[in-house]
Amino acid sequence: MRYTTGAVALGAALVLGTLATTAQAAAPAQPSRSGGLYAPTELVLTVGQGESRATTTVQRAVTLSCTPVATGSHPDSKTACTQLRAVAGDFNAVADAPSQRLCTKEWAPVTVTVDGVWQGKRVSYTHTFANSCMMTGSSSVFDF
């Protein structure tokens, strides 16, 4: 009888050990967040009809990540990141760039916002353009 009890205990230990190993192997690996070589750049850009951030309802939103490569839901993330790098992430320089197209002087205000992190620094930016033509004519960053 003693031998049977020992065999049952050994069998139970083997089964439990196998289950524990299987459970650990089946658990999804958590991504490790290392500092890496690049400072993080993750942005959310929005656009809406209106004169201020407080009164504008968001009509469209895109994501933009510029490090280590340009990605996100922005339709031209590579060009947008290139333009932002050229001005060291200065969104005023992007917004104030001369328009590359002829636009009417119609007043139909469009407000864009940018929130997130640019090269490790928190950013929150708002700019109101006179109309959507003025917004998309200045750069690819706000052309979404």
pLDDT at 33 over 60: no
Q: How far does the chain reach from its first CA to its final CA, in angstroms?
A: 78
pLDDT at 34: 47
pLDDT at 13 over 70: no
pLDDT at 87: 93
pLDDT at 15 over 90: no
Query: Cα dist. 94→5, 78, 124, 141 in Å?
Result: 78, 15, 15, 8
pLDDT at 137 over 90: no
Please say whether the structural domain 42-138 has been given the CATH code 3.30.350.10.
Answer: yes
pLDDT at 97: 83
Write out the H or E segment, with its range, that includes residue 95: helix 91-95
Query: Cα dist. 71→20, 32, 66, 80, 82 in Å?
Result: 39, 20, 7, 10, 12
Report d(CA 115, CA 124) in Å as an integer: 5
pLDDT at 22: 46
| Residue among 88, 129, 86, 93 nearest 110 (CA) | 129
- Kindly state the average pLDDT of the residues 108-116: 95
| Res. 104 pLDDT band, cuts 50 70 90 | confident
The domain spans of the chain are 42-138
Beta-strand runs (E) in the chain: 42-49, 60-65, 110-118, 121-129
Report d(CA 91, CA 128) in Å as an integer: 12
Report d(CA 70, CA 40) in Å as an integer: 12
pLDDT tens digit sequence for 35-74: 556 678 899 999 999 999 999 999 999 999 998 889 999 9
| Residue among 57, 51, 49, 38 nearest 119 (CA) | 38
Q: What is the chain's mean pLDDT, rounded?
A: 80
Share of the chain above pLDDT 70, in %: 74
Using CB atoms within 10 A of its CB, is residue 135 exposed (0-12), middle (13-18) or buried (19+)? buried
